[in-house]
Amino acid sequence: IPSFAVGSKSFTAVAINIASKAGEWIQSKLGDFNKLQTKYSSHDLVTEVDKGAETMIRNLIQTHFPHHVVLGEEGVAPGPDASKRALEQLRDAEYLWIVDPLDGTTNFVHGFPFFSISLALAHKGEVIVGVVYNPVHNELYVAEKGKGAYLKGKRMQVSSEAKLIDSLVATGFPADRAGALPVNMRGVQALAPKVRNLRVAGSAALHMAYVAAGRLSGFWEIGLNSWDMAAGALLISESGGKVTDTEGKPYSLHVRDVLATNGHIHDEIQQELSTASATGI
């Protein structure tokens, strides 16, 4: 299929290769890095490893595909609308790579082994390849638009739970502690008593990969950026799940809030989140 390759060079094979290389390097730096800085707020961390991994990924993409454009988290000015502004500027790019070189920086900094590399390739605004790699478990999640999603060579399938009480659901605490966090806390308050349990493990991309793999029944978070979700959203839709924003509108690269589930519990969670944010439970 022409959209997935240039000549004989498969986009997916290159993405897998790059994610593996970056992952190996990031893992070698676990517990061995310096220069911890904060970005937009004191909760928003960045290290030399985030920046180094992004440079490595950019260089590798440019070597393979000199005409492709790269949007990477560490290449844009931080702020609530960082991704939106960048996407506007890059809207004419035919092939756009959306890169989170290290998703789960806070975990990385603390040595909590749950972080990932997230690479997505969009063709004319539509994501056609998504790769998320967890170097600690050596787990590589791969999806191609229309061709399914795979983990260790096996096709992934979302979980089958149809009731909240049977569901393991994850969320994340937004870096915007003043505005988004209180809204999310209402969602947590509403859902915690209704689901089997909640998890907040600190990597949006990996949470989404876990939904695709059927390890989580659902995930929601508010205040994310395109690079946190682009690969994960394709993994989930190619595994039979559903991805929208928290109001139930279709997922796109421009959404900031995400609700990603096995499909069966989607509407119920969406209702709970809407009610919670409207009524301020």
Q: Which lies closer to ligand IPD via its Cβ, residue 107 or residue 277?
A: 107
3-state SS, residue 75: helix
Q: How far is the CB of 85 from ligand IPD (least distance, A)?
A: 16
254-270: burial string, b at 16+ Cβ within 10 Å, e else: ebbbbbbbbbbbbebbb
**Other CB atoms within 10 A of residue 147 CB:** 15
Q: Is 176 in the site for Ca ion (CB under 5 A)?
A: no
- Cα 200 to its chain centre, rounded Å, is 14
**Under rule CB under 6 A, how many of the chain's residues touch ligand IPD?**
13
Q: Do residues 82 and 74 make contact, with C-beta atoms less than 8 angstroms apart?
A: no
Token reading at 110:
């603390």
Q: Which stretch binds ligand IPD (CB under 6 A): 58-66, 168-176, 211-219, 235-243?
A: 168-176
Residue 172 interacting partner from Ca ion, ligand IPD, none (CB closer than 5 to 8 Å by kind): ligand IPD
d(CA 162, CA 59): 44
Which of 23, 135, 172, 232 contacts ligand IPD by CB under 6 A?
Answer: 172
Which of 52, 202, 218, 263 contacts ligand IPD by CB under 6 A?
Answer: 202
Token reading at 174:
């937004």
Please give the residue whose beta carbon sits closest to Ca ion in the complex: 103
User: Looking only at residues 65 through 124 of this chain, which bind Ca ion when binding is defined by CB under 5 A?
Assistant: 73, 100, 102-103
Q: What is the dihedral of CA 130, 163, 266, 140, to 10 degrees?
A: -10
Q: Do residues 76 and 86 make contact, with C-beta atoms less than 8 angstroms apart?
A: yes
Q: Which stretch binds ligand IPD (CB under 6 A): 8-16, 131-139, 167-175, 184-192?
A: 167-175
3-state SS, residue 119: strand
Residue 202 interacting partner from ligand IPD, Ca ion, none (CB closer than 5 to 8 Å by kind): ligand IPD
Q: Do residues 126 and 13 make contact, with C-beta atoms less than 8 angstroms apart?
A: no
Q: How far is the CB of 16 from ligand IPD (least distance, A)?
A: 20
Site string for ligand IPD, 56-95 (x = CB under 6 A): ----------------------------------------
User: Looking only at residues 216 through 245 of this chain, which bind ligand IPD when binding is defined by CB under 6 A?
Assistant: 221, 224, 228
User: Looking only at residues 224 through 243 of this chain, which bind Ca ion when binding is defined by CB under 5 A?
Assistant: 228
d(CA 159, CA 263): 9
Q: Do residues 254 and 229 make contact, with C-beta atoms less than 8 angstroms apart?
A: no
Which of 54, 100, 257, 272 contacts ligand IPD by CB under 6 A?
Answer: 100
- Contact residues toward ligand IPD (CB under 6 A) are 100, 103-105, 172, 174-175, 202-204, 221, 224, 228
